[in-house]
A and B are shown apart, each in its own frame.
Chain A
Amino acid sequence: MIREAIVIGGGASGLAAAIALKKKNKDVLLIEREINLGGILNQCIHNGFGLDVFKEEYTGPEYAKKFVDEFRSMKIDYLIDTTVIDITKEKNHFHVKITSEDCGIKTIISKSIIISTGCYERTRGQIVIPGDRPRGVITAGSAQRYLNINGYLVGKRVFILGSGDIGLIMARRMQLEGASVLGVAEIMPYSNGLNRNIVQCLNDFNIPLFLSHTVTEVESDCNNKLKSITIQKVDQNFLPIKETEKIFNVDTLLLSIGLIPDITLLDNLKVDFDTRTKSVKVNQAYETSIEGLFICGNSLQVHDLVDNVSKESLRAGKAAANYLDNLVEKRQVINVIPGKNTLFTTPQMIDFGWVNQELVLNFRVQKKIDKAKIKVYQGEEVIFEKIKTFLAPAEMETLSFDYKNLHKNKDLLLEVEDISL
């Protein structure tokens, strides 16, 4: 049997993509490696989810349940406790190799694939913090899972490196469980988390935030257990400044130093990669450089809000259904290039074969800009222009414009001009 679509991952992204496909009457199978649907939302027991999609504030599990309920009511096929180990493309079909304790190794064939595998946490090793390698240095998401799902507290005296949202949320969470959070260090001169989290998770608990600081030393006791950490102020090149050392005696260093799209399943497919997003390139239909292979949610780009993951994945699922309905015409691709002050864009390509596909262009700025003029060029011609205030790397921006009348052989360039003064 050949499936029409396989969705890999049963978190916020995969659920939405599968629902969108099923709404278009597609035969879809969702594969989830955990024993529950809902993904990382299950461990996000704080509130703040759903304001955009449902106009109401939910906790992570509540938000997940909304989608899981809809998913279940539609009788969509799914497998849990099943890991995808390999994907290959042979002729026009994808071969998805799965394994589970119940079924062993099997190959499922499908006409299209939607990758919704989320992201993984950057580790200590990737940013190279010198010192010992003791127990007690742990990513914030791992500590969150242990605490909220399993009910295990990883430490009593905590320092947090990185002011990403998970770190901020965990600062409050650990404090509420009776641990002392001694501070948060952020290497950038500004926080990388949402402003509401700085206020609610740090300020409300008098937890100091050390901007332009990083951890420069990790020390363990003789049992390979964390004893202390040293933070230092950094200069413009992010190098530690001498004699600014502060030592904190802690048993836990939580790392909230970034999320990276998890696309390891694509290792054996030759997909065009974008070093900026650390994921693969897509066109406006969330289709990668391989026809019929779609990607969305945090495995495409790390989002600030789950609402945006759901919306993006609904669009991706819908696009995959259109692909299966052969609604894609002759392909003609131009690139979208991130220019001045922009970190990246998605999509990275516009494919004119996708005739009725709405364009939602996401990007992040490189630095905080109070007032900016956003411009999209094709050659010398400005095809879109907009003034916007208060842009920051921590907040993803979205644009939408009609691209049907563009030249079909010239790339687009996105620029953000700082007009703050």
Chain B
Amino acid sequence: MYDFLIIGAGIIGSSVARELSKYQARIIVIDKENDVANVQTSANSAIVHSGYSDNPGTLKAKLSVKGNKMYEELEEELRLPLLKTGAYVVAHNKTEENQLLELYDNCKRNQVPKFEIIDGDEARKNDPNLSDSISKVLSLPTTKVTYPWEVAFAAMEVAIQNGVDLVLNSKVIHIEKKHDFFVVKTQKGIEYHTRNIVNSAGVESDDITKLIEGNSPFTIKGRKGEYFVLDKRTKGFINHVIYPLPSEQGKGVLITPQYHGETLLGPNSEYVDNKYHAVTSFNGLQYVKKHVVDLAKNIPFNQIIRSFAGIRSTSDYEDFYIQESKKTSRFFIVGGIESPGLTACFAIAEYLVNDVINMGNLYEKKDNFIKSRVEKIKFNELSIEEKKDLIKKDSRYGKIICKCEKITEKEIMDAINGPLGSKTIKGIKKRTRAGAGLCQGGYCEEKIVKILINNFGLKPLDILYDKEESNLFVSETKVEV
């Protein structure tokens, strides 16, 4: 019998698992995906917003301002990647400047810690490629950029080292409430018993609620966003996160410098019929190209290395829905978590655990909670002396596997072996960035295949790109007899 069963191992499920693992409770996280952080967390702008655009008084406003601050507080403890870029919201004319003033008031009401309106020319001094037609900008110094996969891994790793169980490849198909506990059944036919459920199933949070209640207090509509990734050689082309004025469709098409040096262009915003499936489209990507030129000049479109799409779980509730179900006690719903969900993740977890679940009244805190994450070496970010020392300790740091991102053999081994290890090509890419650069895995994938075969005993035909059955190879042509 578990005390808590969390459905969904995205950024929210992971943060909630970490927060709950501070208490003496038995906790399990289950997810239908084959890895942590595979859906919404996997495809977004990677921004830790300041809380500038959320409606005052909403949970979104409150938790994003707080969540932003928590990133700074947890930066060391969880080894969070943070690029402190700041952001500019831009206005091109008098009408837009008036909207910028409204946004300025919004910042005040949301208690964003720092913000000011500056002249376009002043902003262009810091970001010379800002469009010449920009007359004023709202500067938001607390905006920063992170690397969402790493945030989810950090939270989940801490949860795991504090005893949380994680079960992947397990789609929940049935939930039943018995007297004082739930029976949760997965597609694989396994039943889990738990006293409490946290539903943090992202785009499927309404579907999961329906499993037990027949209907859901909100409906998730998928809202797709499509992006271009510019090669990291564009680093410095834009230094701040650049937002247009927000509209009904959200924060708009942005330019976002990324933690590892790339630049993101996008997203568009389009409601889709199939919320389970994020696909790029010719029209969507054209829309991004068309709108992004309002923000900057000299955009290096010739350095696009990838495009991708993500689905936002937009709910008709309009705010984050973080409540105990009104129909089913001990069933906690964390739904409709779209932007600023990544920003607010740690604050959402704290709010849920402290204010909604009232964990402090129910369970004792652990006195042996391990708050820090095991150190993860990012070889390329070290000084030359540190690198040489590490190679002396383990020569596999001397061997480059991914030449674009300069990822070493030891880092690949760690990604496979680690507390949240993965043996899929995509899983290893998420953990190390091998394959994320200019050649998109053309060079390193084969070398990773060799490591999986030689060091981990995998058979070539069993190597997966991502999910079960996404095998890299269909047959061997040189089988020894």
Q: Chain A interface (Cβ within 8 Å of chain B)? A: 33, 81, 83, 85, 99-105, 120-121, 123-126, 128, 130-135, 139, 141-142, 145-147, 150-156, 177-178, 216, 222-225, 240, 251, 264, 267, 275
Contacts and interface: CB of A to CB of B under 8 A. Distances in A.
Contacts of A103: 398
18 contacts: A83-B403, A104-B395, A105-B387, A120-B443, A123-B305, A125-B306, A125-B440, A128-B307, A131-B280, A135-B472, A150-B478, A152-B460, A152-B473, A154-B473, A222-B467, A223-B466, A223-B468, A225-B469
Given A142-B442, A177-B477, A99 B399 contact: yes
Contacts of A146: 446, 472-473
Given A125-B307, A141-B442, A153 B473 contact: yes
B477 A152 contact: yes
Given A128-B285, A267-B233, A105 B384 contact: yes
Interface string B448-481: 0100000000001000011111111111111100
A-B CB proximity, top 5 nearest: A151-B478, A125-B306, A135-B465, A104-B391, A152-B473
B35 to A, nearest CB: 11
B465 A224 contact: yes
| Residue in A120, A135, A139, A264 whose Cβ sees the most chain B Cβ within 10 Å | A135
| Residue in A133, A142, A146 whose Cβ sees the most chain B Cβ within 10 Å | A133
Interface string B371-401: 0000000000000100110011001101110
B403 to A, nearest CB: 6
Contact of B474 (A83, A141, A156): A156
A117 to B, nearest CB: 10
A178 B406 CA distance: 37
A154 B398 contact: no
B287 interface: no
A102 B398 contact: yes
Contacts of B439: 120-121, 123
B238 interface: no
B299 interface: no
Interface string B395-437: 1101110011010010000000000000000000000000000
Contact of A154 (B400, B467, B469, B472): B472
Contact of B466 (A83, A135, A264): A135
Contacts of A153: 473-477
A120 B398 contact: no
Interface in B284-312: 284-285, 302, 304-308
Interface size classification for chain B: 35 or more
B474 A101 contact: no
Nearest to A139: B442
Contacts of B403: 33, 83, 264
A322 to B, nearest CB: 31
Contacts of A123: 305-306, 439-440, 442
B99 interface: no
A142 B446 contact: yes
A16 B404 CA distance: 26
Nearest to B466: A224
A141 B440 CA distance: 13
B359 interface: no
Contacts of A134: 465, 470
B460 A150 contact: yes
A267 B404 CA distance: 11
B281 to A, nearest CB: 5
A201 B141 CA distance: 59
A329 B8 CA distance: 70
B445 interface: yes
A121 B439 CA distance: 7
Contacts of A177: 477
A91 B370 CA distance: 52
B229 interface: yes
Given A33-B400, A131-B280, A150-B449, 13 more contacts: A83-B400, A101-B398, A104-B391, A123-B440, A124-B440, A128-B285, A135-B471, A150-B478, A152-B472, A153-B475, A223-B469, A224-B467, A225-B465
B167 interface: no
A128 B404 CA distance: 20
Nearest to B384: A105
A105 B388 contact: yes
B279 interface: yes
A126 B305 CA distance: 5
Contacts of A130: 279-282, 284-285, 307
B438 interface: yes
B404 A264 contact: yes
A103 B468 CA distance: 39
A101 B399 contact: yes
Interface string B57-72: 0000000000000000
A2 B481 CA distance: 51
B479 to A, nearest CB: 8
Contact of B229 (A125, A151, A154, A224): A125
A146 B438 CA distance: 20
A301 to B, nearest CB: 18
A123 B438 CA distance: 9
B350 to A, nearest CB: 34
B436 to A, nearest CB: 11
Interface in B213-238: 228-229, 233
B424 to A, nearest CB: 10
B474 A100 contact: no
A417 B32 CA distance: 63
A85 B400 CA distance: 9
B400 A105 contact: no
Contacts of B473: 146, 152-154
Nearest to A179: B474
A275 B303 CA distance: 12
A151 B459 CA distance: 13
A223 B398 contact: no
A249 to B, nearest CB: 15
A116 B304 CA distance: 25
Given A141-B442, A240-B282, A101 B409 contact: yes
A99 B443 contact: no
B398 A142 contact: no
A154 B285 contact: no
Contacts of A139: 442
Nearest to B278: A132
Contacts of B307: 125, 128, 130
A262 B477 CA distance: 30
B39 to A, nearest CB: 12
Contacts of B469: 223, 225
Contacts of B228: 128
Nearest to A81: B399
Nearest to A132: B279
Contacts of A151: 476-479
B398 A105 contact: yes
Contacts of A121: 439, 442
Contacts of B233: 267
Contacts of B395: 101-102, 104
A240 B285 CA distance: 15
